[in-house]
Amino acid sequence: MAKRKNKGLGIGALLGGINPDIETSKQAKQEVVNDLSNTVAFVPLENIEVNPFQPRVDFDPDALQELSDSIAVHGLIQPITVRHLGDNKFQLISGERRLRASKMAELEEIPAFVRLANDQEMLEMALIENIQRQELNPIEVAITYGRLMKECNLTHKQLSERVGKGRATITNFMRLLKLPETIQKGLEMNLITMGHAKVLLGVDDFAFQTAAYSEVVEKQLSIRELTALIDLHKKGGNQKKSKAKKELPLPYQKVQKDLTSMLNAKVNLKADEKGKGQIVINFSDTTDLNRILDLLDK
């Protein structure tokens, strides 16, 4: 059985006559919530039902067994959070891993913070606790941010305040969901880092983006090496575009060549798609200019 802390109370003594179905004034309800927020109660495990909105579904069996062994010896140190449903019934808000481990340790009751919350508030609290776990990978964080915004109707600013993160940080995580699924999976499996993902987000060419990702995985490229690879690709693309712009259609090339031969001077001919353009004739000095003018007169 979990060792009781000094501030821990029996659940009956704590809740007394509180009934979540009874309408109370806003002030009275706030006082109850404030009282429950700072008090740890001991709740029978048989009275706690699972959270249908639980965002986390996979639990490592070995890690769960280790936690269960620890709880069996030392008790549950970090209380779970539950929602009071009435009639001594509770619904888990957060702490499913601790709840599962406590059941494996065959405890009868565990410490819990009790909340009075509607379904949206319960989901929000569960997601926020989930996102604060350090072992979450960037994609899981991004998905959770998305769920908080969509399912709890939060703006970027409100989400920033809820999770204690800057709006820029939240935006950066959300942008990860724009990456191809292959790259998202690689980030989820720690094949690449968040830094690699940010660099890949700067690539508009889907084909090259996925090719660059494969290069990172196969050759274990650093972020700096990936950046250099992308810069080289962009530079090559710009050179090809520049070359394509300077390339004259064959008829114009012939005119430019004929003029160069006729005047014995370098001639540059430029023309747009409508056929408009200009002819630039280069000369070395005044004597050369007069020579060219004489040829043009003839």
pLDDT in tens, 228-269: 999 988 887 555 555 545 677 777 787 888 888 888 888 888
Q: How high is the pLDDT of residue 5?
A: 42
Residue 109 falls in the annotated catalytic set: no
Residue 36 has pLDDT above 80, yes or no: no
- Give the model's pLDDT for residue 3: 43
Q: Is 296 a residue whose pLDDT tops 80?
A: yes
What pLDDT shows up at residue 119? 67
Mean predicted confidence (pLDDT) in 124-128? 79
CA distance 126 to 121: 9
Q: What is the per-residue pLDDT across 142-180, written as a single tens digit (0 to 9) for each?
A: 888 888 888 788 888 889 988 888 989 999 999 998 888
Which CATH code, of 3.90.1530.30, 3.30.56.10, 3.30.70.20, 1.10.1370.30, is assigned to 8-117? 3.90.1530.30
Average pLDDT on 209-224 reads: 92
| Residue 129: closest CA among 90, 167, 97 | 97
Compute the distance between CA of residue 59 and CA of residue 163 in angstroms, rounded to an integer: 23
Amino acid present at 228: A
Are 151 and 123 in contact by the 8 Å Cβ rule? The answer is yes
- Give me the DSSP letters along 194-246: HHHHHHHHT---HHHHHHHHHHHHHHT--HHHHHHHHHHHHHHHHHHHHHHHH
Whether residue 208 has pLDDT greater than 80: yes
What pLDDT score was predicted for residue 1? 43
Instruction: Determine the pLDDT at residue 53.
Output: 66
- For the ranges 37-41, 67-71, 152-156, 241-245, the lowest mean pLDDT is seen at 241-245
The catalytic residue among 23, 49, 66, 96 is 96
Query: Is residue 35 predicted with pLDDT exceeding 80?
Result: no
Q: Looking at the predicted structure, is the pLDDT value of residue 26 above 70?
A: no
Residues 119 and 85: their CA atoms lie apart, in Å, by 11
Per-residue confidence at 126, pLDDT binned at 50, 70, 90? confident
Q: Are residues 91 and 83 in contact, defined by beta-carbon separation less than 8 angstroms? A: yes
Please name the helix (run of DSSP H) or strand (run of DSSP E) that holds residue 41, with its range, or none: strand 40-44
Mean pLDDT of 127-137: 76
The token duo for 214 is 């494969």
0.85 surpassed by pTM: no
